[in-house]
Amino acid sequence: MAFTVDKMRVSAFFLLVLVNLQSSALSAPQVPCFFIFGDSLVDSGNNNDLPTLAKVNYPPYGIDFPKGRPTGRFTNGGTTADFLGELLGFDNYIPPFATAQGNEIIRGVNYASGSAGIRDETGELLGVRINLNNQLKNHNVTISRIAGLLGSGTSEHLNKCLYYFVVGSNDYINNYFVPEYYPTSSMYTPEQYATVLVQQYSQHLKGHRISINEQLLHHNVTVSRIARLLGNTPSRKEHLCKCLYYFVVGSNDYINNYFKPEYYSTSKKYNTKEYAAVLTREYSQQLKKLYSFGARKVAVNGLSGVGCLPEELARGTNGSLCVDALNDAVVLFNHKLQALVQSLNNHLPDAQFVYVPALELSEHIPVPGIKFLVKPCCEVSSTTGLCIRGKAPCPDRSLHLFFDNFHPTSAAYKAAAAAAYAEIVELIQ
């Protein structure tokens, strides 16, 4: 697994949360804008109106969110992106691209989409989603809109923003490990697939479900809006280079692709090593695409052990704590992703990419008080693994690591945000 901490580090994380939440209320945000890309781990409502099984705009989701109403977030309260936004000093939550409007896009947009992956086909079995490529296109639209607002200051503004990517799990869960529907596992070994993913990710950073490519399309829309708001190209670039970009993607490329051989052919095409190579190649292209838009400060989240998800544990572990085959595949991807981040920093002028280790989903979880590591808080559907609509969840969500069979509780997300903040602080100093 990618992330372990001892008790002293746990205490440090939560002290960091308290100190920064208090200080953020008294000062301006540490970055002028925060852009979020990824999957259901950070989706804040972009899937609500899409024809897909991957949406949660119903109770009990959102029970601990302000006003206690569902927003489309796949948990009981806030996500890692929400808490990270608080730590960065933002007064309000970053709006989803689906509803973002007016001047609010200057401070950031969330493009994430449940079931999205690095690969375009990831998650298609569940319905429409916005893949990473289209998320980047949406960001370009945002940039144009910001330019219209800020004019000549757009470029300086965006260079100061933070970009956060949480993506990749679906490229395994809903692609590589679903060989009956996707060919990737027959095309690539795990190492090759990890390389392919990172390479595609790299291109994305250079320049329906909502796949990562589609999320990039959405960001392209955002960029256009920013351009209209800020004015000419120099102003737009000045704004974007200061923004923070956050990517959380990749889990679905395994959960809803590679490890579903009955729907996807990827596990027939690749072994796990080859598939990791495939994913990293695609990711590389995506990240380079984002860079071409003006992004300079980019945080890229690693993948948690998908073999420790309640949904996967229900299929059997052969005596292990988690499903080792799934976790081993993800480790290959994480190693390649770290190498990609270093390569991007070495070869792209002024680039500031940071790898954020994933939260460990095991007994080492840095969340005090967690008692139930594998039992979800809500009653889940036997077909989707999501909470059953209208069913009351467990009374004390703070005791559970997972809210449903795939997504952590808000308590776990808060710990993940503290850990992520510790990694990206160098981008905002």
**Residue of 43, 265, 407, 410 marked catalytic:** 407
- CA dist., res. 305 & res. 228, Å (int): 42
- CA dist., res. 208 & res. 185, Å (int): 24
**Residue of 64, 82, 253, 404 marked catalytic:** 404
Could you give the 3-state DSSP secondary structure of residue 171? strand
Quickly tell me which residue has 């569902």 as its tokens.
70
- CA dist., res. 192 & res. 185, Å (int): 10
Residue 404: active-site member: yes
- CA dist., res. 93 & res. 73, Å (int): 12
Per-residue pLDDT of the chain (429 residues; tens, 9 = 90+): 333 333 334 444 444 444 454 444 457 899 999 999 999 999 999 999 999 999 999 999 999 999 999 999 999 999 999 999 999 999 999 999 999 999 999 999 999 999 999 999 999 999 999 999 999 999 988 988 888 888 878 888 888 888 888 888 889 988 998 888 888 998 898 888 988 888 777 766 655 467 778 778 778 778 777 777 776 666 777 788 889 999 999 999 999 999 999 999 999 999 999 999 999 999 999 999 999 988 999 999 999 999 999 999 988 777 788 899 999 999 999 999 999 999 999 999 999 999 999 987 766 666 778 899 999 999 999 999 999 999 999 999 999 999 999 999 999 999 999 999 999 998 887
Residue 139: active-site member: no
Contact 311, 407 (CB under 8 A): no
**Residue of 24, 40, 211, 265 marked catalytic:** 40
Residue 407: active-site member: yes
Nearest to 74 by CA among 229, 365, 264, 82: 82
- Kindly state the DSSP code that residue 360 receives in the 8-state scheme: P
Number of H helices, E strands in the chain: 13, 11
User: Residue 191 contacts by C-beta under 8 Å, 6 or more apart in sequence?
Assistant: 271, 272, 273, 274, 275, 276, 277, 332, 336
